[in-house]
Structure formats: C-alpha cells, structure tokens
C-alpha cells in the first residue's frame, strides 16, 4: 500500500515520532491513523523498556509555585539528550509532573523510596485494625497486603492517578513520554515545600 506524505505528516504531528517510523506504522495498519497511533504507542513502550540500561544524564529541573506562594515544588527529570530536554513536549511534561506533586503530595517516587519504618508503621496499623474488627487470623496477611497496595498507590508518585487525567497513572504518562521521545526518561527526585511545615 502506498502511503501519502500528508498522512505521514498528520501522524507525525499527532505522535512526535520520526518520519520512517510513522510510514512503517501506517503501512502496518493499512493507512488507518488511529490504529497507527496505537501501534506506535505499543512499540514505543516496548522500546522504552529496552532502554532501561541507558544513561539519562540530561534533562531539566522544573519548579511549580502555587498561587499565593505558600506551596512550591522542585523536580528533576532526566532524559538522554539535551535536544529532548529543550522540546516543548518535555517542558510541558516536567511542568505537569511538578504541578501534580504540588497537588498530590507523594512521599516517594516509587515503592523503593518509601522508608522502611513508614511501611512497618502502616503494616502495624492494618494488622491492629483487622484484629480489632474480628477478622480471622488466616486472612489478615491478605488484608494487610491489599491495604499496603492501596497505600502505595496513594503515596508513590508513579502509582498515583494523574491529577489532570485520573484515568491514567503518572507512570502511564511517563511511558507515553518515553514512547514519544524514544529516549529513557526518569523522574530522578523532587522536593515539596509547604509554608509552615
């Protein structure tokens, strides 16, 4: 099937993916733009997983100061090239992450970053709650495990529902950005300041 330049340009403007990849996706999907977008997303996320070992030493530090100046966030987001770090898409992504952190107040980027003493304290609370509500001993571990999963989804940045679109997690948003740029991107660290805390 012959793919028109107009179709390739349209797909490229919607996805930010290179011309050759757009052409290949359109050929694979018989010229159907929507299917080609889905194809590129799947391919991009799969490619992103392969990029895990690459070094992301470029990027940007983004800030967000909430109206009134009583809440502020600094976040470092890394990528592989200076070129990607300067794109509008990357800048917009970094701003969204900083704003999300201000709104959702995560305590860590992922489960590995949650301090062990915090996890132990939560487990103790869940065990006590389960025992006091008369749950059988044999299902308490399962209850604690389920409550811990919910706890992580509330306090770990990558597992939180994205404030601008609660249908996706911050990790989904990150994977979309990785698929779009074709580079390894990682949220390295953040700090959230609130007046009086």
DSSP 85-146: HTSHHHHHHHHHHHHHHHHH--SBSSGGGS-HHHHHHHHHHHHHHHHHTT--HHHHHHHHHH
CATH class given for the domain over 55-109+156-194: alpha beta
**Mean residue pLDDT across the chain:** 86
Check if the beta carbon of residue 115 is closer than 8 Å to that of residue 155.
Answer: no
Does 17 score more than 70 pLDDT? no
Q: Indicate if 55-109+156-194 has the same CATH topology as 5-52.
A: no
Q: What is the pLDDT of residues 47-85, one digit of tens each?
A: 555 555 566 778 999 999 987 889 999 999 999 888 999
Which of 132-136, 146-150, 167-171 comes out lowest in average pLDDT? 132-136
Domain edges within the chain = 5-52, 55-109+156-194, 115-154
The H helix count followed by the E strand count for the chain is: 8, 5
- For the segment(s) 5-52, the CATH number from 1.10.8.10, 3.40.50.300, 3.40.50.150, 1.20.1270.360 is 1.10.8.10
Check if the beta carbon of residue 29 is closer than 8 Å to that of residue 37.
Answer: no
CATH class given for the domain over 115-154: mainly alpha
- Predicted TM-score (pTM) of this structure: 0.69
Query: DSSP label at 2?
Result: P
Q: What is the pLDDT of residues 85-126, one digit of tens each?
A: 999 999 999 999 999 999 999 999 999 999 999 999 999 899
Does 162 score more than 70 pLDDT? yes
Interatomic CA distance for residues 140 and 129, integer angstroms: 10
């Amino acid at each position: 099937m012959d793919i028109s330049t107009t179709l390739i340009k349209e797909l490229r403007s919607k996805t930010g993916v290179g011309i050759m990849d757009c052409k290949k996706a359109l050929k694979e999907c018989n010229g159907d733009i929507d299917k080609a977008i889905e194809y590129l997303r799947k391919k991009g996320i799969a490619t992103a997983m392969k990029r895990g070992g690459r070094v992301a030493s470029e990027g940007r530090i983004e800030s967000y100061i909430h109206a009134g100046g009583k809440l502020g966030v600094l976040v470092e987001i890394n990528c592989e090239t200076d070129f990607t770090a300067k794109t509008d898409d990357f800048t917009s992504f970094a701003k969204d992450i900083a704003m999300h952190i201000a709104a959702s107040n995560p305590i860590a980027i992922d489960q590995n970053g949650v301090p062990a003493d915090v996890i132990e304290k939560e487990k103790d609370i869940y065990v006590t709650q389960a025992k006091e509500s008369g749950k059988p001993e044999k299902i308490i571990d399962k209850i604690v495990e389920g409550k811990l999963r919910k706890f992580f989804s509330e306090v770990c940045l990558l597992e939180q529902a994205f404030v601008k679109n609660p249908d996706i997690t911050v990790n989904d948003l990150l994977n979309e950005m990785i698929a779009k740029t074709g580079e390894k991107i990682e949220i390295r660290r953040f700090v959230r300041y609130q007046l009086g805390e």
